[in-house]
Amino acid sequence: MFHQYLASPEKFPKPWIHIAADDVGITSLYFVDEKTEKEQKNVHSKLCAKELKEYFSHKRKFFTVTLNPQGTEFQKKVWQHLSDIPYGERWSYKDLALKLGSVNYCRAVGMANSRNPISLIVPCHRVLGHDGKLVGYTGGLDIKGWLLNHEK
């Protein structure tokens, strides 16, 4: 496993972005308060850090880095649909459930969303409650709000 830390932009709620990768691609991306792993970079983590810097400087809206998240088949389907949400656009959990085939999937979609291991690149921050309110972001609602404001 490879680990790399990227300093967060100024005024971001957490000081570090922890990027984890394997030989296939990025396995996780989390916002953290401190560095807990020894840094050992690979081609995927370096590209991810480069693309994140471009995103934060408003020079990138789409990520090309290879992803390798681990999860159930349903979770992976949800994460794929999350990746289809355009930059700056916001969907509800209901919208996402309907993309998967049924409004009855709302709760399952919410659970899969909360287990997304590649925050930001798989843009779960773009999913809001049915009333348009910020809800359910593993990184914290302060980070979700920051990311949505960044994408305005």
C-alpha span between 149 and 152 (Å, rounded): 5
C-alpha span between 21 and 143 (Å, rounded): 22
The residues annotated with a catalytic role in the active site are: 124
Of 148, 149, 151, 147, the residue nearest 31 (C-alpha)? 147
AA identity, residue 84: D
Token pair of 18, please?
Answer: 């922890």
CB 143 within 8 A of CB 14: yes
Cα 32 from chain centroid? 14
Residue with tokens 């090309």, as numbered in its chain:
64
C-alpha span between 48 and 17 (Å, rounded): 11
C-alpha span between 3 and 68 (Å, rounded): 14
